[in-house]
Amino acid sequence: MKRHVLILLALAVAGNLPAAAPSAPDSLPGIIFAHTVRSGAAIAPADDAKEPRAFQRGDTFSATGQTLLSDKGEPIALVFSNGDSLYLPNGGRLIFNEFTQAAVTDTSVHREYEPSHSMVRLTLTQGTLALAARKMDPTSTFTLIAGQLQVQSISQSLVVSVIGDTVTITLFDGTAVVTVPETGFHDTLQAGITATFSPKNLHDSYPLQLTPTTTAQSDLFGGWVSDARRTESKVYFFGPPHNLEVRQILPVDFTQKMSIDDPRYR
Tens-digit pLDDT profile for residues 106-157: 666 777 888 888 888 888 989 999 988 888 888 888 888 888 877 776 677 8
CA distance 61 to 45: 11
Exposure on the CB side of residue 210, measured as CA atoms within 13 A: 12
pTM to 2 decimal places: 0.80
Whether 220 contacts 213, CB under 8 Å: no
| Most distant pair of Cα atoms in the chain: their distance | 63
251 to each of 10, 108, 229, 240, 245, how far by Cα in Å? 41, 23, 16, 26, 20
pLDDT confidence of residue 194: 94
Lowest mean pLDDT among 145-154, 212-221, 230-239: 145-154
Region 36-49: mean pLDDT is: 79
Lowest mean pLDDT among 45-49, 120-124, 227-231, 233-237: 45-49
CA distance 83 to 76: 16
All domains of the chain in start order, with CATH: 5-235 (2.60.120.1440)
